[in-house]
């Protein structure tokens, strides 16, 4: 939290300086205010909580230097009563960075807290990112301090990494991209993570897409994450896909995390799915998935029917059912989702999920989740959403949650 506060304070002073010096600067962003009321079981008793969350996103451009802009996002929370257990933070900075782009985005430099997406080097970082792209070839570099949660308070002091990628364009609809990435995370003088990855996306035919990746852990000397997903679309109305995943979750967590000792298992998933448009607004879907987890074996399969109707197909009815078979238990899970336009700017949503277990869990053989919501668009910049969620399960018992969300998007000139 101290790290986020220091970064936020630096960004605040930077914004203040830019606002007072920039002529004709443009400010855009959004504010989301969320009062909530919910109930949780604490120490065997029902306790009511009423926090208020504020999420703010700002972007500042036209600062007098071509290609320079400032971006900021953060959140804050206030408790109306009954402090929320296990949630010590009252706010944090999601990102806050200065962005500089040159030569029609040929060169990009970002400095500050940011989310970086570069294969194995994808994470939230306080640091500097440099990206260069020309003639279908791109290179990205990142250096800084990883942003950590409370369970990883010392998870690495400094990280370096990057990615090199090449885009192949054979025709307008054919081609692919190959990317190699690397990440080194140091905790003091000790290496905490040393990862390398390969990402591949191909479209060898107009109706065939193949995506996948392979990530390698140099410290553990093993492949810790891999996936292959081919998708074939013989007709506009039919799409067939296969999926294979291989993951060792412990490699995704810092060695200093308290959770790393619980995630040494190897997980493999193999399955596929079919999507078919029976009519223009009527879609049927089916999928199947095998799960291998050390000595554990399971499978999931199911299907759904989706019908879209009304003006511009804004309304939808979704019916789905899934079956899960595990070593010790199984379940059947029906689901109903409804989206209905009640008026020009008024929309209703309803989500219902049930699960019926083969064997009772804590003397209960079902779980239930019910969530209606109502949204009203006041104008193009203001939206009001009210939602209610009720949950009952063998673990959670009976709990409810109410949320009121006010979203305000704004744009304007900061100074003349």
Q: Which two tokens stand for residue 161?
A: 């990494």
Residue 191: name the closest of 159, 169, 224, 144 by CA: 159
In a domain, residue 312? The reply is no
Over its length of 416 residues, how does the chain's per-residue pLDDT go in tens digits?
444 445 455 555 555 555 555 567 788 899 999 999 887 777 777 788 888 999 999 998 888 788 899 999 999 988 876 565 555 568 889 999 999 998 887 999 999 999 999 999 999 999 999 999 998 999 999 999 998 765 554 445 789 999 999 998 887 788 999 999 999 998 877 888 899 999 999 999 999 999 999 999 999 899 999 999 999 999 999 999 999 999 987 766 665 555 555 555 788 999 999 999 999 899 999 999 999 887 778 999 999 999 999 888 889 999 999 999 987 889 999 999 999 999 889 999 999 999 999 999 888 999 999 999 999 999 989 999 999 999 998 887 778 899 999 999 987 656 55
In a domain, residue 20? The reply is no
In a domain, residue 41? The reply is no
Contacts of 245 (CB under 8 A, 6+ apart): 226, 227, 267, 268, 269, 270
Per-residue buried b or exposed e for 134-172, using 16+ beta carbons within 10 Å of the residue's own CB:
eeeebebbbebebbbeeebeebbeebebbbbbeeeeeee
Contacts 24+ apart (CB under 8 A), 103-108: 105/133, 106/132, 106/133, 106/134, 107/131, 107/132, 108/132
In a domain, residue 244? The reply is yes
Number of domains making up the chain:
1
As a whole number of angstroms, the distance between CA 75 and CA 71 comes to 14
In a domain, residue 80? The reply is no
* C-alpha atoms less than 13 angstroms from C-alpha of 11 in its C-beta half-sphere: 29
Q: Which two tokens stand for residue 388?
A: 């209610």
Residue 230: name the closest of 271, 269, 261 by CA: 271
SS3 103: coil
In a domain, residue 326? The reply is no
Instruction: Say what the pTM is.
Output: 0.85
Residue 126: name the closest of 250, 29, 42, 11 by CA: 11
In a domain, residue 369? The reply is no
- Tell me how far CA of residue 259 lies from CA of 43, 151, 188, 246, in angstroms: 24, 8, 20, 20
Instruction: Find the domain containing 193 and state its range.
Output: 103-264
In a domain, residue 219? The reply is yes
């Amino acid at each position: 939290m101290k790290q986020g506060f220091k970064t936020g304070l630096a960004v605040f002073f930077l914004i203040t300086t830019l606002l007072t010096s920039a002529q004709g600067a443009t400010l855009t962003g959004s504010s989301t205010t969320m009062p909530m009321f919910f109930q949780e079981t604490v120490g065997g008793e029902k306790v009511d909580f009423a926090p208020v969350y504020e999420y703010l996103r700002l972007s500042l451009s036209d600062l007098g230097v071509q290609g320079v802009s400032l971006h900021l996002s953060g959140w804050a929370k206030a408790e109306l009563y009954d402090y929320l257990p296990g949630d010590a933070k009252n706010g944090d900075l999601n990102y806050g960075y200065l962005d500089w782009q040159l030569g029609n985005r040929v060169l990009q430099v970002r400095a500050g807290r940011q989310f970086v997406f570069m294969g194995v080097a994808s994470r939230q970082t306080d640091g500097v990112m440099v990206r260069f792209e020309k003639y279908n070839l791109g290179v990205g570099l990142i250096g800084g301090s990883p942003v950590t949660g409370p369970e990883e308070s010392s998870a690495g002091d400094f990280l370096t990494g990057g990615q090199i990628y090449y885009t192949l364009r054979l025709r307008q609809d054919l081609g692919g991209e190959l990317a190699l990435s690397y990440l080194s995370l140091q905790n003091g003088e000790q290496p905490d993570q040393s990862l390398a990855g390969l990402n591949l996306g191909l479209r060898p035919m107009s109706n065939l897409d193949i995506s996948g990746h392979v990530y390698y852990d140099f410290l553990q000397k093993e492949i810790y994450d891999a996936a292959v997903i081919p998708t074939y679309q013989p007709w506009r109305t039919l799409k067939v896909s296969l999926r294979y995943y291989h993951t060792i979750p412990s490699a995704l967590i810092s060695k200093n995390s308290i959770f790393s000792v619980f995630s040494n298992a190897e997980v493999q998933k193999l399955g596929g799915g079919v999507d078919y448009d029976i009519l223009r607004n009527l879609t049927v879907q089916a999928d199947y998935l095998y799960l291998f987890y050390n000595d554990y074996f399971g499978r999931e399969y199911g299907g759904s029917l989706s019908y879209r109707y009304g003006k511009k197909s804004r309304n939808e009815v979704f019916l789905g059912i899934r079956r899960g078979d595990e070593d010790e238990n199984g379940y059947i899970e029906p689901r109903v989702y409804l989206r209905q336009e009640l008026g020009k700017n008024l929309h209703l949503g309803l989500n219902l999920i049930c699960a019926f277990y083969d064997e009772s869990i804590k003397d209960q053989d079902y779980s239930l989740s019910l969530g209606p919501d109502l949204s009203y668009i006041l104008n193009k910049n203001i939206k009001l959403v009210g939602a209610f969620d009720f949950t009952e399960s063998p673990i959670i018992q009976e709990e409810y949650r109410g949320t009121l969300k006010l979203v305000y998007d704004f744009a304007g000139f900061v100074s003349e």
